[in-house]
Amino acid sequence: MSRIGKQPVALAGATVTIDGDIIKAKGPQGELSFKVHEQVSVTIEGGVIVVSPKNDSKLARSLWGMSRSMIANMVEGVTKGFERTLELVGVGYRAAMAGKDLELSLGYSHPIIYKAPTGVTFAVPKPTEIKITGKDKQELGQICSEIRKYRPPEPYKGKGVRYAGETVRRKEGKKK
């Protein structure tokens, strides 16, 4: 039995509609949809969404918890939204806004311009901090990962782009 899948999802101010195998959530932040696998059934009972497997197969049980998490993230995204923070560590590493896009100076000979996808907003409160907000948690994680790939944190000096609160395992340098 899935511990995550058993828990019902509270609607919390979002309107959710089920159209066959497609679930749509609408809220103050916008609208999201998710296609549920045919092995999982979703029903709305008394203000909560209940996810259950259709049979006892291994595939149905493995998709059960994942489907519930996706629906819960979708409902939370359209009501509150999500935010991730990235930190730039290194001499001369800085970020700035270029319209709606993000301009990164990460030690290369040229600045990196990262285009803002629709539904995602960038904010730069400090030159070494980037706040990314959006309604889709999966898309937000993908964007953070792509920005981090430009200059991942290295283990000797700890320079690079890292998630807020991330600890980088440091290595000892060469000895004479």
Residue 173 confidence (pLDDT):
86
Q: Quick: pLDDT tens for 68-93.
A: 999 999 999 999 999 999 999 999 99
Q: What is the mean pLDDT of residues 9-24?
A: 89
Residue 6 confidence (pLDDT):
84
In CATH terms, is domain 3-79 a member of 3.30.70.260?
Answer: no
Q: What percentage of the chain exceeds 90 in pLDDT?
A: 70
> Rounded mean pLDDT of the chain?
91
Cα–Cα distance for residue pair 19/8, rounded to 1 Å? 19
Residue 86 confidence (pLDDT):
95
Q: Output the CATH code of domain 82-163.
A: 3.90.930.12
Among left, alpha and beta (phi > 0; psi -120 to 50; other), residue 88 is beta
Residue 131: strand pairing partners: 85, 123
In CATH terms, are 3-79 and 82-163 the same topology? yes
Indicate the domain borders of the chain.
3-79, 82-163
Residue 1 confidence (pLDDT):
64
